[in-house]
Structure 1
């Protein structure tokens, strides 16, 4: 999962329509005595919560490598049972299994949770500590953090949500909402079989009772503790473009000596030529035939939200966080935010051909692969975008270049007036957290499975706390925060407690 948060710097930033909808406040939603008891239980259970996350990190389910997928599902089932879910079952798919669970406390309302139990690949040589050891280290400016693969994406935030349920039980309190838990083990390869899980009759029937669906997150800005409430997310297609001598009928079928380039065609150069047709010369604008046909322009409301964000988010902070000195074409700040929310993309994740080890090896590769992701905005779809890519290549004579789609899904959209969004805003406001309402997450998650038919529910991200390094070395999740504006594990746990009370109470 690739997510980009848009923190703000000066506090609550809501347009008139949303600002009028943040009541009731937390004092009305959650009895103070209950919250105090639950917080004490969360504090008392802190060590166990940390160990729960560390133990989970120690078991890496990696869909791209087909590693420990069944074990990952079994572990997820055990975590759900331990957190109090009464019904827990494994859901088979044509790929990795998922998990479905329910916790019925007799409440009036239901809330759905989306968990992923898989993680990205890793190279231990790139890490400061072993990525499965989940070591607790001191990180200057942040406090004590867990360093490990999956720490923030998503086992730390999901662990905080589980910790909330443990705290309710330890305090002798019932959660104010019933819960439906839906989990998958293939998010990091584009969730190719997740719809099979959600459309199982028992899963679909349970989801239909819910107010909405959240994926736990931990995106507080270190500068001011701010968070974003996103009203959607871009879709994504993950695929490989493969050029080979075998398919092309030219060039070698296996690697040969590079001296033969004087008389033998190169599949690697063939792939490069195909790639250059997909984007503008600077690489910044997709040039696939018809790619922009279904792109919906930003609405006036979306432009309003982006303009407000541009006034209150610091451009220098954003560049520092990304490690960049320039944005595309040195565009004005507000335009970069508009692009982030509105532009589809074609990105090269990786290029692989021939020898890639130390030193040189004079070969002419017989096969070359480009790993591609395409980000989609409303009203684009995965299937239409893939079809356009195939037609584009064929029209230019690249019929031999294979398009191997590994996964993907459509964009998501959620109404800002839904109870789910209003409950998020009210929770953040009640806890004194600066919040920005933003049109669309530039990253992707399979929320479209929830927001589209037959489920048709509001869906989004929620959570306090902080972590970073998803998909990268030294991924971390803060458990004891030294920054007063950012919550640690206990504070993140209480964020989920307060949110559940808001979902139960909001009109």
Structure 2
């Protein structure tokens, strides 16, 4: 009997039990951003630790950090075989606005073969799948084909402020050959995808200051700089009409797409007309010479996220605003560095600053981009496991968003990162009525179980970056 057949029998027999266990996990309101849920965070960590122990994992511990705890566990008896570090998070987003939920966010319900609850897709459901895959293998085989370590944190939804320090302080404990993360999505229903890269991020606020206070536009208009006009001038200087960023040196370190990547993206058959209808626009927009997928996965951006200043109430107020500001974020790609990009932004603003104002730049979120070559053996092994279960070719994609801690794993531990997720973009994670399609829960359990065997066929040398 093949291992996939054995896993299928086990997961079929245990399905209802596993769903009930997952519901217990989902009932814990482990909202990391709200202080009133600090005790619930402890409960969530302990529930997960107990589940890992019951599944047969060893050295299970709830480790303290300066914030919410991390949960560690391992099983290290596959001599000579690779070691997989599985990362995820047990914290969830707040549930507001509550009135938009069709059922209680922490009282899980199954409707139309979808499990509705906060955290069902992001990320408790996907973490739970790895726990149950380990349980299935230990129950049926009494052993695992590879060595396994778990690191599940409680602060991903607030930017993982303490995890990088934890990783740095526990390099030996976390040493592995590959990192596997199930906190991403599939390409679409029935279309599995392995994500091999994420964009980085840097965010800044621009504050423009003119006169010491707002001025009467009749007395001073035309003779004193208007802070909003000055701000607009700066913002206009960032990009040309076709979206190309005109900050000097911005593209210097951008890694070009390989021909293989371009062919892989083209093979996905992405429908731009469908996207237009989805977002409600007549035309798409972006850097000339690139397809939509290339723009959002592999090209950097500079976007204005908010503008403020002056009078915006009912009617009109004839003043020259003293102050104005804007919030900017840049999505970055390999091999751009967030600190270098911020320095280039500062130089560009100084060069393009209109007379009569001072400009200050405040730095906010930063995260480095990440990429593991999509032909890496660990990535391709994940693709094979998806294909065995879903019976369709696996898509190899990059993510347009950012998970800063992924780059930290890559940089600190120096390991290939495999993002093999089972969510769908329509599942409302971070929004009311979050849900998880149970067909992907069912198939994902089998994919994960098979992946451990696929990884066991690779040597540690194969997995070195």
TM-score by length of 2: 0.80
SS in 1 for 2:73: strand
Instruction: Kindly report which structure 2 residues correspond to 1:82-481, keeping only aligned pairs within 5 A, or say none.
Output: 82-84=51-53, 85=57, 86-92=59-65, 96-97=67-68, 99-107=70-78, 108-120=81-93, 123-124=96-97, 127-129=100-102, 132-133=105-106, 136=109, 138=111, 143-148=113-118, 150-165=119-134, 167=136, 173-188=142-157, 190-191=159-160, 193-200=162-169, 202=170, 204-219=171-186, 221-222=188-189, 225-237=190-202, 239-243=203-207, 248=209, 250-252=211-213, 263=220, 270-281=230-241, 284-309=243-268, 312-328=269-285, 335-351=291-307, 369-397=325-353, 400-438=358-396, 440-446=398-404, 447-452=406-411, 454-464=412-422, 466=424, 468=426, 473-474=431-432, 476-480=434-438
Q: Distance in 2 between matches of 1:390 and 1:331?
A: 25
Distance 1:470 1:488, change over 3 A: same
SS in 2 for 1:153: coil
Q: CA deviation at 1:417?
A: 4.2
| 2:207–2:361 Cα contact (<8 Å) kept | no
Q: Distance in 2 between matches of 1:265 and 1:68?
A: 49
Q: CA deviation at 1:410?
A: 1.7
Residue range with higher mean Cα deviation, 374-383 or 206-215: 206-215
Q: CA deviation at 1:455?
A: 1.3
How many residue pairs were aligned?
A: 446
Q: CA deviation at 1:79?
A: 1.2
| 2:7–2:446 Cα contact (<8 Å) kept | no
Q: Distance in 2 between matches of 1:175 and 1:363?
A: 73
SS in 1 for 2:77: coil
Q: CA deviation at 1:104?
A: 1.4
Distance 1:278 1:465, change over 3 A: closer
**Number of the residue aligned with 2:463:** none
1:494 to 435, 446, 454: 446
| 1:451–1:457 Cα contact (<8 Å) kept | yes
Residue range with higher mean Cα deviation, 313-322 or 338-347: 313-322
Distance 1:498 1:436, change over 3 A: closer
Q: Distance in 2 between matches of 1:166 and 1:231?
A: 27
Q: CA deviation at 1:479?
A: 4.3
Q: CA deviation at 1:302?
A: 2.0
Q: Distance in 2 between matches of 1:464 and 1:323?
A: 27
Q: Distance in 2 between matches of 1:289 and 1:151?
A: 44
| 1:211–1:419 Cα contact (<8 Å) kept | no
Q: CA deviation at 1:475?
A: 5.2
Q: CA deviation at 1:345?
A: 0.4
Distance 1:187 1:34, change over 3 A: closer
Q: Distance in 1 between matches of 2:346 and 2:93?
A: 27
| 1:87–1:101 Cα contact (<8 Å) kept | yes
Does 1:48 pair with 2:21?
Answer: yes
Q: Distance in 1 between matches of 2:358 and 2:157?
A: 28
Q: CA deviation at 1:490?
A: 3.1
Distance 1:469 1:265, change over 3 A: farther
Does 1:33 pair with 2:9?
Answer: no
| 1:220–1:466 Cα contact (<8 Å) kept | yes
| 1:189–1:407 Cα contact (<8 Å) kept | no
| 2:75–2:148 Cα contact (<8 Å) kept | yes
Distance 1:436 1:368, change over 3 A: farther
Larger radius of gyration: 2
Unaligned ranges ≥5, structure 2: 460-465
Q: Distance in 2 between matches of 1:281 and 1:193?
A: 41
Residue range with higher mean Cα deviation, 164-173 or 104-113: 164-173
Distance 1:262 1:346, change over 3 A: farther
SS in 2 for 1:199: helix
Q: CA deviation at 1:421?
A: 0.9
C-alpha offsets along residues 249-287 of structure 1, whole Å, 9 cap, x if unaligned?
Answer: 6354xxx7x9779659765555444333222246x2322
Q: Distance in 2 between matches of 1:356 and 1:129?
A: 36
Q: Distance in 1 between matches of 2:428 and 2:312?
A: 25
TM-score by length of 1: 0.74
Q: CA deviation at 1:241?
A: 0.7
Distance 1:409 1:147, change over 3 A: same
Q: CA deviation at 1:307?
A: 3.0
C-alpha offsets along residues 146-170 of structure 1, whole Å, 9 cap, x if unaligned?
Answer: 153x443333322333343455567
SS in 1 for 2:246: coil
Q: Distance in 1 between matches of 2:440 and 2:434?
A: 12
C-alpha offsets along residues 17-58 of structure 1, whole Å, 9 cap, x if unaligned?
Answer: xxxxxxxxxx86x26335422442244321221332x224x2
Q: Distance in 1 between matches of 2:201 and 2:234?
A: 21
Aligned CA RMSD, in angstroms, stands at 3.9
C-alpha offsets along residues 111-145 of structure 1, whole Å, 9 cap, x if unaligned?
Answer: 11222345556641673447844553646xxx434
Q: CA deviation at 1:352?
A: 5.0
Higher relative contact order (CA 8 A, sep 6+): 1
